[in-house]
Amino acid sequence: MKNIIATFIGAVVLLTATPAAAACPSLLNHSVPQLQDDKPQSLCQYAGKVILVVNTASKCGFTGQYDGLEAIYDKYKDRGLVVIGFPSNDFGGQEPGSNKEIADFCRLTYSIKFPMMAKTDIAAPKTHPFYKQLIEKSNTRPKWNFHKYLIDRSGTQVESYSSLTEPDSSRLIAHIERLLAEKP
């Protein structure tokens, strides 16, 4: 009788857990530490949003793109866009600081309000699993800092944009607007 009750209770737990798990696309089923306090953040919280993922660096020639990233985040966040920054020291050693130093730089220099995650390995061989999936889905590996991945609301389609693509480029903005117009 105890085994039957345990099995029944287990089945109820499984049934109640399944819908929540199904709501998060496998691409977003990752937890990463937040830059400001290293607290784990589930990327599932962004399910249903259009997501622009960017690997960042504080000492790069493209660092000025922070202004454009913050501007498009501010302009489109209420329509469902989230920009997520992933600082990385993998390209040219241009992000040597600690998470606290990076957070202070982003806040004080560029007034960044979009989510920033802790320093992350982007390049092989230590590529973070989330980035491995982005690379696989887009067939494009970042070659430098400020490479961008645009993810649709379903978390299934990923488009890649090189570091040379400015955040306010007409092609990127048109793609963001097209994805925002699609209902989740």
Which are the catalytic amino acids? 60
Distance (Å, rounded) from C-alpha 116 to C-alpha 69? 12
Q: Are residues 96 and 102 in contact, defined by beta-carbon separation less than 8 angstroms?
A: no
- The burial class, CB within 10 Å (0-12 / 13-18 / 19+), for 102 is buried
Instruction: Output the six-digit token pair for 19.
Output: 């819908």
3-class DSSP state for residue 49? coil
**Side-chain half-sphere CA neighbours of 97 within 13 A:** 16
Rounded (to 5) percent helix, strand, coil in the chain: 40, 15, 40
Distance (Å, rounded) from C-alpha 118 to C-alpha 73? 19
Q: Are residues 57 and 91 in contact, defined by beta-carbon separation less than 8 angstroms?
A: yes
31: nearest Cα among 136, 145, 140, 118: 118
